[in-house]
C-alpha cells in the first residue's frame, strides 16, 4: 500500500511526473493510525503557471479532436477503475479513513459519473435561430471554455474531483486540478494516473499538489482558466467567488450545507429512523448533504428518539479496514477537537446528550443531542461530524420555519405517508434539492446538483454541466446584401 502512495507522491504537469520545487513537504497521513503514507514536495506559483500553460497548449488540438475519439478515453478510464477497484478501495480507506461501505459508495458514484462523461462528449449541439433580417442566418455554436481549474475537497475526493474533471475534459477543455492537502493522492494524482493510462494526451490534465500558504491566490487568479470549479466550505467559497468576479471568471461553487430530515406525524417510523441515521452518520457525517438536524413531529418524538438512539448505539466505531466498521476516523485532529467543542457548547447551552461516546484520537463516536435551544448558533452552522441534533416541532408550519432558519440551502428530506403532502412541504424549503421519503444524501449523473443561499452558485450534472464548462458563440451569415442606414 505504501508503495502505491509513494509512486503517486509527485506533481503531474504537462504529462510528466516530477517533484515540486517548493521549500517544504505535505505529509500525507492515515487519519486512523497516523501512518505516514507519503511525503510530497509542494508545487510553487511557477509550477501552477506551467500547469495552466500546458493545459492551454494541449486544449486546442483536443477540442478539435473528433468527440467519438475523445469518448474512447473515458471508456478506457472506466475500465481501469473497475480493474483497479480493490486497490482504489484500499487507498480510500487509508487516506480518508473511509469505511468499506463508504469506499464502495464513492466508487459506485464515480463510475456512474464517468459513464455519463462518455456520453457527454457527444452532447453539445448547435442551433440555427431565426432572424428578423431577410437573408440572415444565425448560427449558435457551443464550444469548450478552454481551461478549467478544479479545487476538490477531502471528504469524497475521488468522486468530487472526477465530477468536474471528467465532464470538463469530455467537453473539450484542458484541466488543472488542485486536490485538498489531506487527500492529495486519491483526490489528485490517482486520477491523473488513471487518465494517463487511459490514453489522455499529455498536458490536458495537470495535478498540482500545494497549499495557499505557498501559492496564495495564484491558482484562481491565473489568467488562463476561464472557469473555477470549487467544492469546499462557504468561507473559502466566498473568497474564491470574490477573486474570480474581479477577473470576470465564471465559478461553479459547491459549498457547505446544514440539511434537515423532517419526520411528519404520518411517517413510517422505522423507515424514517433508518433514513435519518444514514443521512447523519454516513462517512462520519463528513458529507455536505448530511442531515445535521433531525426534526420530528412532537406526537411521535419520544418513540422516534428511542428508536433512533437504539440504532445509533449499534453503529460500530473503529478501524475502517474492518468491514463491520460504520464510523471510522474524521480527517484530522483539528476536526476531532472542533467536534468535541460542539458537543461541549451544546451541553453548556442546555442540551441533553442522550448518547455520547468517547473521542479517541481521530475516532469521534456518535452523539445524539436533544433540547438544543432553537436560537443556538449550532443549529444554523454546518457540523461536519457524527453529531445529530433532534428537534421536536408542532405542525408543518413550525417545521418549515425551523428548516429554513439557516444560511444554507443544499439538501433535505421529509418523511410522510402522503407523497403529495411531502412534495408540498418540499416546495416551501429554500434549498437546491429535497427528497420525499428518502435520505438527504443523494447525487445522480443526470440531475442538477447544487444549493441555494450559502450552499453555492451554479449546478453540475446532466445538462447543467454543459452550461458550466462550455460557452455559446453566435456566428451570423448574411445571404445577400445588408442595408445600412448610412
Residues that are catalytic: 254, 288
131 grid coordinates: 432572424
Q: Helix (H, G, I), strand (E, B), or coil: what is residue 475?
A: strand
Q: Which of 265, 266, 289 is nearest to 278 (CA)?
A: 289
Exposed e or buried b for every residue in 67-77, given b needs 16+ CB within 10 A? Answer: eeebbebbebb
What does the radius of gyration of the chain's CA atoms come to, in whole angstroms? Answer: 24
Write the CA distances from 139 to 122, 129, 130, 167, integer angstroms. 19, 6, 9, 24
Torsion sign (Cα): 436, 438, 441, 444: negative
Phi, psi (deg, nearest 5) at residue 295: -100, 130
> What's the rounded Cα separation, in Å, for the pair 385 and 292?
9
| DSSP codes joined into one string, 185-247 | IIIIIHHHHHHHHTTPPTTSEEE----HHHHTTHHHH-SS-SEEEEES-HHHHHHHHHHHHHT
Using an 8 Å Cβ cutoff, are 253 and 241 in contact? yes
Q: Which of 275, 271, 247, 236 is nearest to 259 (CA)?
A: 275
Using an 8 Å Cβ cutoff, are 77 and 195 in contact? yes
Query: Helix count (H) and strand count (E) of the chain?
Result: 16, 24
Q: Helix (H, G, I), strand (E, B), or coil: what is residue 483?
A: coil
Amino acid at each position: 500500500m505504501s508503495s502505491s502512495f509513494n509512486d503517486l507522491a509527485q506533481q503531474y504537469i504537462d504529462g510528466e511526473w516530477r517533484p515540486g520545487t517548493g521549500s517544504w513537504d505535505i505529509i500525507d497521513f492515515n487519519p486512523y493510525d497516523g501512518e505516514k503514507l507519503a511525503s510530497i514536495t509542494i508545487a510553487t506559483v511557477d509550477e501552477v503557471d506551467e500547469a495552466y500553460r500546458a493545459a492551454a497548449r494541449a486544449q486546442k488540438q483536443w477540442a478539435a479532436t473528433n468527440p467519438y475519439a475523445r469518448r474512447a478515453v473515458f471508456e478506457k478510464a472506466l475500465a481501469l477503475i473497475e480493474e483497479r477497484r480493490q486497490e482504489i478501495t484500499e487507498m480510500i480507506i487509508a487516506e480518508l479513513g473511509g469505511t468499506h461501505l463508504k469506499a464502495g459508495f464513492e466508487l459506485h458514484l464515480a463510475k456512474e459519473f464517468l459513464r455519463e462523461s462518455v456520453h457527454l462528449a457527444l452532447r453539445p449541439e448547435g442551433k440555427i435561430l431565426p432572424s428578423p433580417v431577410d437573408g440572415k442566418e444565425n448560427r449558435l455554436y457551443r464550444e469548450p471554455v478552454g481551461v478549467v481549474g478544479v479545487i476538490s475537497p477531502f471528504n469524497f475526493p475521488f468522486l468530487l474531483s472526477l465530477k468536474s474533471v471528467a465532464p470538463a475534459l469530455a467537453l473539450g477543455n484542458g484541466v488543472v486540478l488542485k486536490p485538498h492537502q489531506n487527500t492529495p493522492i486519491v483526490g489528485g494524482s490517482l486520477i491523473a494516473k488513471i487518465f494517463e493510462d487511459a490514453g489522455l494526451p499529455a498536458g490536458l490534465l495537470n495535478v498540482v499538489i500545494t497549499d495557499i500558504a505557498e501559492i496564495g491566490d495564484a491558482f484562481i487568479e491565473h489568467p488562463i482558466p476561464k472557469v473555477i470549479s470549487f467544492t469546499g466550505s462557504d468561507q473559502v467559497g466566498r473568497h474564491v467567488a470574490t477573486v474570480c468576479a474581479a477577473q470576470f471568471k465564471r465559478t461553479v461553487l459547491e459549498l457547505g450545507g446544514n440539511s434537515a430530515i423532517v419526520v411528519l406525524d404520518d411517517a413510517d417510523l422505522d423507515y424514517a429512523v433508518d433514513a435519518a441515521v444514514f443521512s447523519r452518520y454516513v462517512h462520519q457525517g463528513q458529507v455536505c448533504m448530511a442531515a445535521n438536524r433531525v426534526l420530528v413531529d412532537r406526537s411521535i418524538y419520544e418513540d422516534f428518539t428511542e428508536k433512533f438512539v437504539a440504532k445509533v448505539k449499534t453503529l460500530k466505531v473503529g478501524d475502517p479496514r474492518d468491514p463491520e466498521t460504520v464510523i471510522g476516523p474524521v480527517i484530522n485532529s483539528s476536526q476531532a477537537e472542533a467536534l468535541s467543542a460542539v458537543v461541549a457548547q451544546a451541553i453548556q447551552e442546555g442540551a441533553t446528550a442522550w448518547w455520547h461516546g468517547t473521542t479517541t484520537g481521530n475516532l469521534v463516536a456518535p452523539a445524539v443531542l436533544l433540547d438544543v435551544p432553537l436560537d443556538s448558533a449550532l443549529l444554523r452552522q454546518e457540523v461536519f461530524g457524527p453529531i445529530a441534533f433532534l428537534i421536536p416541532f408542532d405542525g408543518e408550519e413550525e417545521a418549515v420555519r425551523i428548516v429554513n432558519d439557516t444560511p444554507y440551502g443544499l439538501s433535505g428530506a421529509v418523511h410522510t405517508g402522503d407523497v403529495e403532502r411531502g412534495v408540498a412541504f418540499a416546495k416551501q424549503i429554500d434549498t437546491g434539492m429535497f427528497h420525499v421519503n428518502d435520505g438527504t444524501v443523494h447525487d445522480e449523473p443526470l440531475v442538477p446538483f447544487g444549493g441555494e443561499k450559502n450552499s453555492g452558485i451554479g449546478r453540475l450534472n446532466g445538462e447543467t454541466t454543459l452550461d458550466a464548462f462550455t460557452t455559446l458563440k453566435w456566428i451570423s451569415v448574411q445571404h445577400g446584401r445588408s442595408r445600412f442606414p448610412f
